[in-house]
Amino acid sequence: MKKNSQLRQCVVSLAATVMLASAMVSMSGCAPILVGAAATTGVVVATDRRTTGSQLDDATMSTSIMFKINEKYGDKVHVSVASYNGIILLTGEVPDQATSEGAAKIAEKEDRVRAVQNELLVGPLTDLSSRANDSYITSKVKTRFVDSDFSPTHIKVVTERGIVYLLGIVKKEEGDQAVEIARKTSGVKRVIRIFEYSENP
C-alpha cells in the first residue's frame, strides 16, 4: 500500500506541473512573469505538437511503468522509460530475455499505451560513467537542434550506450534533418528514428 501511495504522489505531482504550466501559458498577459523551471515547462507545453492531455498521459505513463519495472526487478536491471504520444521506448540492460519480455509486457498493459518499442539489451548493466556520457551526448544533440529548421521541442532525444533514439511528431524533412544532425554529433554510434509523420505545421 505504501508503494502504491508513493506512485500516486509521483503521478499527481507530474500532473500538477503540466497542468499549471498549461494554465499559465493560456493566461493572456501573464507569460512575461514566468521564470525558471516554470517558464521552460510553459514554453514546451505551448509549442509541443501533442495535446496537453497527451503530454500529461506521457508523463504519468512513463512514471508508472518505471515504478512497476523497478518494483518487480529492482537493481537487477537498468531500464529507462520514455513516452511520446503514447509510444513507449524501453532502453537499458537486463540480465536475460525473459526479463526483457517481462518489462515490455508491463509497459504494454499500461493504460493509453499505443505501442512499445523494446530496445533493451540482454547483458551487463552499464556503469555510471557510461550513463553520464549518454547524458552528455543527449545534451549535445539537443543543443545542435537549436540551429535547425525545426523546433527542438518537437523531438525527444534518448541516448543509451551511444545509440541515439529520436521520438516525435515531425514532418518528413524535419525528421531527416534531425537524424542527420544526430549522426554528425561526436560520440554517437547510431541513430534510430521512432517518429510519427505529419504534414501539419
pLDDT digits (tens, 9 = 90+) for 27-39: 333 333 333 333 3
Q: Which amino acid is at 161?
A: R
Residue 144 shares a structural domain with residue 63? no
The yes-or-no verdict on residue 43 having pLDDT over 60 is no
Q: Look at residue 199 in the predicted model and tell me its pLDDT.
A: 76
pLDDT band at 178 (very low <50, low <70, confident <90, very high): very high
Domain interval for residue 17: 2-122
What does pLDDT average to over the chain? 83
β-bridge pairing 190-197 and 163-170: parallel
Q: Look at residue 198 in the predicted model and tell me its pLDDT.
A: 87
Look up the CATH number of the domain holding residue 157: 3.30.1340.30
- Distance, in Å, from the CA atom of 111 to the CA atom of 165, rounded to the nearest integer, reads 23
Three-class SS of residue 46? helix
Residue 82 shares a structural domain with residue 58? yes
Of 100, 122, 144, the last residue of a domain is 122
Residue 162 shares a structural domain with residue 103? no
- Strand-pair partners of 196: 169
Residue 116 shares a structural domain with residue 146? no
Of 87, 122, 157, the last residue of a domain is 122
pTM: 0.77
Place of cell 512575461: 32
What tens digit of pLDDT does each residue of 123-134 get?
A: 999 999 999 999
Residues 6+ apart with CB under 8 A from 33: none
Query: Which secondary structure element, helix H or strand E, spans residue 197, and what is its range?
Result: strand 190-197
Residue 102 shares a structural domain with residue 175? no
Number of domains in the chain: 2
